[in-house]
Structure 1
Amino acid sequence: MFEFAKQPVKLVKVSTPMENHGQELKLGVVLTIVGVFPNTILKAFGAGLLESLFRKPTEEERADLATDPDTLCMLRHPRMSPFSWDYETDGNQVTIDHGLGGDSDIKLVDVKVKSVEITPLEGAMCSIQWNINCHPDQKDVGALAAKQKQDIAMELNGPAPQSAEDLFNKAA
């Protein structure tokens, strides 16, 4: 599951579409986020993804690196362009640092993570762009819009396990 502790990311875009909820219209917010993560985050998107994009360094390459020789830190396909990944989850929680911490943080609940785009980077890193669809309090919409095109500190937590199977699969 794609989740992370407080991490610097960039809030690229804030969109505010009106959504139909039966006969009523409800303000929705779509946040486009991009962040750079260690390539091990790719395990959250599927088994084998990390290994298909990165490889161990050769003996010759290892001389130039100060990493563990078993680390998957070399790009398998250096010319690879960013690619979309079919990943979507509901029920996530997001906390965005609003400057003073604690009660001033913007907390978004029951958000949907979708539209994931992955870019493998040299040095055992990857850039991930994704959308967050949510329905924040109206007072938070302006604060989110004001943070557009800025670096922010964000935490993303996946949905709480709904069954014992979910709990044990998350721990695996």
Structure 2
Amino acid sequence: MKTEIRFTHKSLVESSKSGDRNSQYQLYELYVDAMYNIGMRFLGVKEDAEDIVQDSFVDAFKNLHSFKYESTFGAWLKRIVINKSLNHLKVKRLPLAAMDDHEYHLTEEIHNDPVDAIDIQKVKMGIEKLPLGYKNIINLYLLEGFDHIEIGEVLGITTSTSKSQYHRAKKKLVEIINTL
């Protein structure tokens, strides 16, 4: 079944590269909901997420000739949506949480981490209450599966800053969840 789906998607991508609007619409239908959910996780505003998703599809179809199957079409499109979402946030001038040089404590551990015992709704509510920079790091690392090197590239920060921000975000998330 996976090869069938992969083949179908590849044929849709190839047809879309040729300008076939029907194939483009089918790809859009396959991915629009997932891409919207990603946009919402980062932006939190329905209209902004919708705009970002539309812009992402337009850019993806314009640049489809550069898609070389080094990843799945969905992963490629997801990266576009994430980058556009983060750029949108930068335009709004919503920076990562400020950190001083003396705050880089990468060995900081969270002991007796109660997150495993908490239902997913509290975790989602906790993520929504995080400062934007922390929320972005949590979304990229935990939900989107990026590693710290990739996060650094996407956000324009160092790998150690990504790690430090992630540990702080995780600690802050636990604090928030414990107050819910």
Give the TM-score range, shorter chain: under 0.3
Structure 2 length normalisation: TM-score?
Answer: 0.22
Higher strand share: 1
| Relative contact order higher in (CA < 8 Å, ≥ 6 apart) | 1
